[in-house]
Structure 1
Amino acid sequence: ALGSLDLMVAVDPYLNETTRHADVLLPPPPPSQSAHFDFAFNGFAVRDQVRHTPAAVPLEAGRMDECEIHARLILAVSGTHGAPPSAVDDLAVRTTLAKAVAQEHSPAYGADPEEYAARLTGDTGAERRLDLMLRLGPYGLTLDELKAHPHGIDLGPLKPRLPQLLKTRSGRIELLPAPLAADLPRLRAALDAVPDPDALRLVGRRHLRSNNSWLHNTPALGGGSNRCTLQVHPRDADRLRLTDGGLARIKGEGGELEVPVEVTDGVRPGVVSLPHGWGHDRAGTRLAVASVRPGVNVNQLLDGSRIDPLSGTAVLNGFPVEVSPLPWSGVPLHCDPA
């Protein structure tokens, strides 16, 4: 589908399996040249804290940071290409303030939007937007305060936020919503079904040195034992005549793969496990480290037809496969059988 697009623009540091389809590839600066304020992982914090980390290494002259790259793309698709990237940030500030000054619970309630915007600080448009969000937040912080505390600010223990955060129609925590309750008969039927003793279900897995496909081209994390293996329980291995370190063909509704076998009691009988995020053997990529151990792409076993009826999402785990042994030819295939 990506290859059929009239135009594809990608923002990525790698020419990988996805971005090889791009007509234009815009590499962002590395983390050392990017400022950072964490939104996502603060949700896992055990105390309220806040920290802004400036770029450790300044950008080279003429190099754009990632925020500017995205701003320029927004200007291009909105028909205002050529306008300064700060116009995108100014629009976001104006839109946010227009709502904030009209909300009674907001720290900016009743303020003049232009005067409020004039007080914002920051060296870039993105920093001005961050400063605005900090000022409108529950602690009334500013970006200047964060910059004055480079190791962060401890805001104390976590505080209860229920029922404030609840968006259910009842205003209560709904432990068994009607759609889930209506789907229980399907679950019961699946649990009561007599399993086929010879059937195999494939599940995924993760590794310490692998996060999806992000880290496979990092030299420091590319060593160690082969991680793209099909884990099989010893009982199933005996039944299917699979040997540890040997090759197997695994077939699904969308295709088949050839992969080294790892016999282990870490999986239960009837289950085989293959990690996701691999398959770095596509033409047109430039992944010097990852291509040495490309692995196989587990998505090739799926044809896209399996959909969970309750959530409507694609089924990527626990689907049926067939596994059979392959003779070892002495020539490495998709994975390096260490």
Structure 2
Amino acid sequence: MQASPRKIIHVDMDAFYASVEQRDDAALRGKPVAVGHGARRGVVAAASYEARAFGVRSALPSVTALRRCPDLIFVPPRFEVYRAVSAQIHAIFAEFTDLIEPLALDEAYLDVTANRAGLETAWMTAKAIRARILEETGLTASAGVSYNKFLAKLASGRRKPNGQFAIQPHEGPAFIEALPVDKFHGVGPATAARMHALGIQTGADLKVWSLGDLQARFGKSGGWYYAIARGEDHRPVNVSRERKSSGSETTFDEDLVDPSRIEAGVLAMADDVWAWCEKTGRRARTVTVKIKWADFQQSTRSRSVASVVNSKPHLHEVSLELIRSVFPPEKGIRLVGVTLSNFTPTTEAAPASSLPLEPAS
């Protein structure tokens, strides 16, 4: 006997950061808002729907955003507020299911197959969740409902903002066949370009390819593309999904070549990351320094330690050694970032001096 299909909901808050700012400041409502810093070398972290109408998107340079929308209002990010609102939203999720996989502060997968709320359908469950979010936070959310994560994620973007869309089991394969491959979640621009070069424009084109041919062209990902072309995604909603890295980066007001100023930027980012470590109690083995050069080329330098990075001075030490590996810089440095990864399950305490540096594998 065939198992009953799962009931998966992908909930995605609508323009989350910008919506929180508009909620908290009535003067911003109905106006184009960008969360970020409007300085000459700033970057948009999030944009309201009013700003998006002008082509303003996250990661867009501030000068470009202002060129597209001269009336754009920049507000500095308040991540402590966004985290608090996110906690409210996740508490609402927990009223409906224990199977919650957070993807970010503003989105998550929910498996509601068990139907804790006793609602007739997953569609009604999604509506109830969105209504509770609006009631509790004053913010709107969109939702996708389907029988697997891949399709639920695709569905959540179909009725944005403040809407929901369902893809039922008998609809999944046809939905994917009609979808351009560059709209597939997880298929980035480079992969989409490779597919286009092979004549793969839509899910229907992808479905024609055999498993062996896709694996020959795309390696391990070939099996994934073969499955999703048929609407198949058996990944569970992973409630134990852990954050794999924590980082912070900054764009300088001008391209820097002075080592002392570059190092000051790296240390400031290391301090941001260590503050998160102190708050969460997490410790990691790998430090990565990111460098964006004046010509927008990027470089990274990584180092793993024998035990853990267990103090702010130790993080400073490793971060400085990494950035100093590019001194003297051959060209100006536009941005630096520091990231910790390779977290340990539990904190391992050891004197920093006993943790020799090793090349990252």
Give the alignment's TM-score, normalised by structure 2: 0.23
Give the alignment's TM-score, normalised by structure 1: 0.25
Larger RCO: 1 or 2 (CA < 8 Å, sep 6+): 1
Structure 1 or 2, whichever has the larger Rg, is: 1
Higher helix share: 2
